[in-house]
Structure 1
Amino acid sequence: MTPTLKKYPWYYRPLEWLLLGLARLPLRVLYLLADGIYLFTFYVIGYRRRVVLENLRHSFPEKSEGQIQQIAKAFYLHFAEVMVETLKLAVMTPAELKQRVLFKNPEVLEKWYAQGRTALGLSSHAGNWEWVLTSGAVWLSAGAHGVYKPLSNPFFEDFMYRLRTRTGAHLIPMRETLRNLVRYRGQPRVVSLLSDQAAGPEDQPYWTMFMHQEAGFYTSADRLAAQFHFPVVYVSIRRRRRGYYEIVLTELYDGDSALEPGKFAITDAFVRQLERDIHAFPTDYLWTHRRWKHKRQPAVS
């Protein structure tokens, strides 16, 4: 089911032409632009620098201030590279994307497709998260579907939607997730969830220690897996070098074993896998994200 996209005002057309023109530049040229974005965001305007440094200090209390600063600088450069890599999706061919993103073990999902089952893929804002779904549509026999939150600006919603679906990926608006899963129940596919979003107290999250800080996580993976008997995999995207990534899939739940109510074992397994990835690749996580902005509310006696 394709969402109805809002028409955007005509005065966005020059911006669209500019972005599409930039997208046609070779990546090696776009990386020069990324270098400039890095210098501007880190040294000139200090984009969310206080948030980034605070997140890093709390997450890596064992590191010195010098090490924290080095991770921060490397993160801002990586962040700028993700920007231009995402823009490149406007013209990138499926063959080129397949060369740049390697699925190391697609058989983890393919075995469920052979059984005619839907699986959930839990991913995060690490590596190049925008290339995960688009490359999954190229690598996986049953394609890839992703739950997303539509952008409020009609131009950027339309533009990003086109980028994300060019290679055949399908997008599911967040509010239509349950309806979509019911409608296409039994269809072999993977439905990807970005599961590191910050869940607030009103979402009745699963609270756990994450990178030395208590954080609330959405529990939709546990609830959907229990309701629909979906297998669940953790999707790890790791940067091999500039412009090249590999995706490793780890099974978190087989779709059939009993799940203990209220324990959120799947979400907890996701958190532990994500922590390992962040420790292994600290510069590749989205540190501008205010992941720990919510605090657990005290119990009412």
Structure 2
Amino acid sequence: MQLLAYCLAYPLLWFVSKLPFPVFYALSDLIYFLVYRVFGYRKATVRKNLALALPHKSEAERRVIEKEFFKHMCDMFMEMVKSMSISDEEMKRRFIFTNLELATEYEKRGKSIILMCAHYASWEWLMVMSNYITFESYAIYKKIGNRYFDSLVQKIRGRHNAKLIESKSSIGTMELHKKNGVKAFYGFASDQSPQLTKAKYWDTFMGIEVPVYTGAEMLAKRLDMNMLFVKVEKVKRGFYQATLVPLVEEPKKMPDYEITGMYLREVEKQILQKPEHYFWTHKRWKHIGKKRISSKKSTSTQF
């Protein structure tokens, strides 16, 4: 069944990826109409999240953000498909970095780097950074249930010199890299919600206390890596820019969870600036009011 689904979907996805951009985004507009107007995909979840995170906005203002978010979400999904065939040159034209010299500076320090980002604007096209750096490039991800689509995603990343590490094997892989002297950038998107049974630390996010992932911080301390945050902004439809923001150079010297807090504050600033570009369909605040199951003193690595 998995193979059948892949065989049926792949030709269509490939065809769509080859469409010229004007037609490509016209198709995205059609998908938006179906997803938002006809099927109302996760509309209730989005409205609830917006009301929780942006209580200072009026209901009318949140409706505008809601519609703009769904348009952006459809564009982003389509751009993931476009990654199947887009050239490196076109990707570089559409996704630029404002201060790549900072990446070069960090590479010269001789340590691997954890690159933290958010589910904001375009985290998929961020992989183009692999074409600018000399270190290897990895993204931590959750394996897709369909092994054929999972393989496709890995191939797409490979086209742009990026590799994937499944989250459950990331600790062992990164430790092995450290042992073998492999220098790399490791991308973490840590702004979503962990399972409550695995939550070891809670912090405020958009003014609400929630469980948070702390794996990036703990691995940086364990393996002595520097940390950067990448702020991605949508300039206009189909065009993005990213700015590298230093988080901390010596994580071991920082109190536990302080770096995670710094990261969350950076994400909040992005959301408050242009909330329509955040990924609102995820149930980020689903654990509000639930009892903590562990204290802040835990040092377990969570993703």
Equivalent residues of 1:199, 1:205 under 8 A apart: no
Equivalent position to 1:286, from 271, 274, 279: 279
Q: Which residue type is aligned with residue 119 of structure 2?
A: H
Question: 2:269, 2:121 → 1: CA distance?
Answer: 14
Q: CA deviation at 1:129?
A: 1.2
Q: Which residue of 1 aligns with 2:9?
A: 15
2:172 is the alignment partner of 1:179:
yes
Query: For the Cα contact (< 8 Å) 1:27–1:85, is it kept in 2?
Result: no
Q: What amino acid is the match of 1:63?
A: K
Number of the residue aligned with 2:160: 167
Give, in whole Å, the separation in 1 of the partners of 2:49 and 2:4. 40
- Equivalent in the alignment of 1:236: 231
* CA distance in 2 between partners of 1:158 and 1:225 (Å): 28
Counterpart of 2:99 (choices 95, 98, 105) is: 105
Contact 2:154 2:163 in 1 (8 A): no
Corresponding residue number in structure 2 for 1:4 = none
Q: Provide the secondary structure at the position in 1 that maps to 2:25.
A: helix
1:256–1:154 Cα change, 3 Å: closer
- Once the two structures are superposed, residues 76-115 of structure 1 have per-residue CA deviations (whole angstroms, 9 ceiling, x without a partner) of 0000100111111111111111111111112222222123
Match of 1:129 among 104, 107, 123: 123
Q: CA RMSD in A?
A: 1.8
In structure 2, what residue type is equivalent to 1:198? S
Does residue 265 (structure 1) correspond to residue 258 (structure 2)? The answer is yes
Aligned residues: 291
Residue 244 of structure 2 corresponds to residue 249 of structure 1? yes
Is contact 2:104–2:133 with CA below 8 Å preserved after alignment? Answer: yes
Aligned partners of 2:221 and 2:252 also within 8 Å? no
Q: Encode CA deviations 1:253-278: one digit per residue, 9 max, x unaligned.
A: 10366122xx3011000000000000
* Offset at residue 141 of structure 1 (A): 2.6
- In the TM superposition, what is the alpha-carbon distance from 1:172 to its structure 2 partner? 0.7
1:203 Cα deviation after fit: 2.0
Work out which of the residue numbers 167, 174, 190 in structure 2 matches 1:195.
190
Question: For structure 2, which runs of at least 5 residues remain unmatched after alignment?
Answer: 295-303
* TM norm structure 1: 0.92
What TM-score, normalized to structure 2?
Answer: 0.91
Q: Which residue of 2 aligns with 1:55?
A: 49
Q: For residues 25-40 of structure 1, what are the structure 2 equivalents within 5 Å?
A: 25-40=19-34
| Distance in structure 1 (CA, Å) of the matches to 2:251 and 2:53 | 35
Which residue, 44, 54, 58 being the options, matches 2:38?
A: 44
Unmatched runs of 5 consecutive residues or more in structure 1: 1-6
Q: How far apart are the structure 2 equivalents of 1:11 and 1:34?
A: 22
Post-superposition CA distance 1:223-261 (Å, at most 9, x none): 11211111111111100011110111111110366122x
Secondary structure of 1:56's match? Answer: helix
Are 2:203 and 2:209, in contact at CA under 8 Å, matched by a contact in 1? yes
Task: Call closer, same or farther: CA 1:21–1:150 in 2, change over 3 Å.
Answer: same
Q: Distance in 1 between matches of 2:5 and 2:194?
A: 36
Percent of pairs with identical residues: 28
Change (3 A) 1:35 1:104: same
Aligned: 1:149 with 2:168: no
Q: Determine if the alignment matches structure 1 residue 297 to structure 2 residue 291.
A: yes
1:95–1:225: structure 2 CA closer, same or farther, 3 Å change rule? same
Asked whether 1:211 is paired with 2:206, we answer yes
